[in-house]
Amino acid sequence: MQTETKANVDQISDGNGGLVTVLRFSGDISSSSHDALLGTYTTVSKSQPVLLDFSKVEYINSSGIALVIQMLMEANKNGQKIAAFGLTPHFQKVFTMVGITKYASLYPDEATARTSI
Amino acid sequence: MVNLNGKPVELRVPSRMGYEKVAMGTAASVAKLMGFPDDRIEDLKTAIAEACINAIEHGNQLNENLCVGVTLSAHDDTLEVKVLDDGNGISKLPSKPDIDRKVHGEEDPRGMGMFLIQSLVDEAEWVKDSKGTGSYVRLVIRLDKETD
């Protein structure tokens, strides 16, 4: 019943001469997403900002949110900025409720996120 | 609004992660028939998913021989949901998650399910079955609540 989480890594311009890493997720973000989220995060450069693309994610539960928080823990240790885009209004509300927005800004779309992070 | 003649919709799902989505889909269908707006249906789906995950993982301890029961009762302006498992229930509600403590490794990054449930529905109570044969969480979501 759980839909496998897939993650792809892209490098995009921030529009100001710098690069931003984008982790593009699809499927579910749940307890079975450890490798897709944290495993993928370990492979990316820690010297540039990271955007999390949730635009192809339909289901996120609290276990998946906990994995996002673990990623924020690692980013915080590395002094790395993380932001997210593509969340539905409902999950924007949920991320805000649990306080994630204190450590990761949420943007409505990729174009806004890449120039704002 | 749908008239269910006071008869609840009942289902039983296996104690296996992922099957909470069956309960989510059923609850969303009932809420849609009752006329709930889309944003409240999303709140309900997340609350029911978290209740089922707790029942699967903690109540029934992932024992696939046990099922999680879900009862959806439509009233005039509310939908009442019960999620039942074979566990002993909870002794006390966990404290509100602290994102600073979580990000600094001072608090388990998990443990947000009950907070989300309480935040997303109008009423939530955790009840131990008086016969000692299980426990349930009872959720109420109102049709006429002002949206955020």
Tell me, what's the pLDDT at B3? 53
| Tens-digit pLDDT profile for residues A12-41 | 999 889 999 999 999 999 999 999 999 999
Tell me, what's the pLDDT at B92? 85
Decide: B26 and B48 in contact? Cβ < 8 Å: no
Grade residue B1 by pLDDT with cuts at 50, 70 and 90.
very low
Q: How far apart are CA B63 and CA A19, in angstroms?
A: 47
Rounded to the nearest integer, the mean pLDDT of chain B is 92
For a pLDDT cut of 70, what percent of chain B falls above it? 93
Give A 74-113 residues with CB within 8 A of chain B. 76, 88-90, 93-94, 97-100, 102-103
Identify which of B59, B68, B50, B66 has the alpha carbon closest to the alpha carbon of residue B13: B68
Reply yes or no on whether the pLDDT at B2 is more than 80: no
| Tens-digit pLDDT profile for residues B67-103 | 999 999 999 899 999 999 999 998 888 889 999 999 9
Tell me, what's the pLDDT at B133? 85
| Tens-digit pLDDT profile for residues A46-75 | 999 999 999 999 999 999 999 999 999 999
A69, B102: Cβ pair inside 8 Å?
yes
For a pLDDT cut of 90, what percent of chain B falls above it? 83
Q: Measured between beta carbons, which residues in chain B are less than 8 angstroms from residue A63?
A: 53, 110
User: Looking at CA atoms only, how far is residue B52 from chain A in angstroms?
Assistant: 11
Q: How many CB pairs under 8 A join A and B?
A: 75
CA distances from A40 to A7, A17, A23, A44, B97 (A): 7, 25, 8, 7, 26
Q: Measured between beta carbons, which residues in chain A are less than 8 angstroms from residue B16?
A: 1
Q: Which of the two residues, B4 and B56, has the higher pLDDT score?
A: B56
Q: How far apart are CA A94 and CA A90, in angstroms?
A: 6
A73, B113: Cβ pair inside 8 Å?
no
Decide: A71 and A82 in contact? Cβ < 8 Å: yes
Q: Measured between beta carbons, which residues in chain A are less than 8 angstroms from residue B46?
A: 61, 90, 94
Amino acid B134 reads: G
For chain A, which residues make up each domain, given as ranges? Answer: 6-116
User: Looking at CA atoms only, how far is residue A20 from chain B in angstroms?
Assistant: 22
Tell me, what's the pLDDT at B144? 76
Tell me, what's the pLDDT at B146? 57
Q: Which residues 6+ apart lie within 8 Å of B139 measured at CB? A: B47, B48, B51, B80, B81, B82, B83, B117, B121, B123, B124
Domains and CATH numbers, chain B: 9-142 (3.30.565.10)
Q: What count of residues does chain B have?
A: 148
Option in B17, B104, B105 nearest A31 (CB): B17
Grade residue A3 by pLDDT with cuts at 50, 70 and 90.
confident
List beta partners, residue A10.
Answer: A22
Q: How far apart are CA B14 and CA A10, in angstroms?
A: 38
Q: Which residues 6+ apart lie within 8 Å of B23 measured at CB? A: B11, B13, B48, B49, B52, B68, B70, B83
Mutation site, B17, B41, B53, B120, interface A, largest A CB count within 10 A = B17
| Tens-digit pLDDT profile for residues B115-129 | 999 999 999 999 998
ipTM: 0.93
Decide: B80 and B136 in contact? Cβ < 8 Å: no
H helices within A34-88, ranges in order?
34, 40-43, 62-78
Decide: A6 and A26 in contact? Cβ < 8 Å: yes
Q: How far apart are CA B3 and CA A112, in angstroms?
A: 46
- Spacing of C-alpha A109 from chain mean position: 13
Which residue is it, tokens 């990054």?
A: B109
The CATH number of domain A6-116, selected from 3.30.750.24, 3.30.565.60, 3.60.110.10, 3.30.450.20: 3.30.750.24
Q: Which residues 6+ apart lie within 8 Å of B62 measured at CB? A: B15, B16, B17, B56
Grade residue B130 by pLDDT with cuts at 50, 70 and 90.
confident
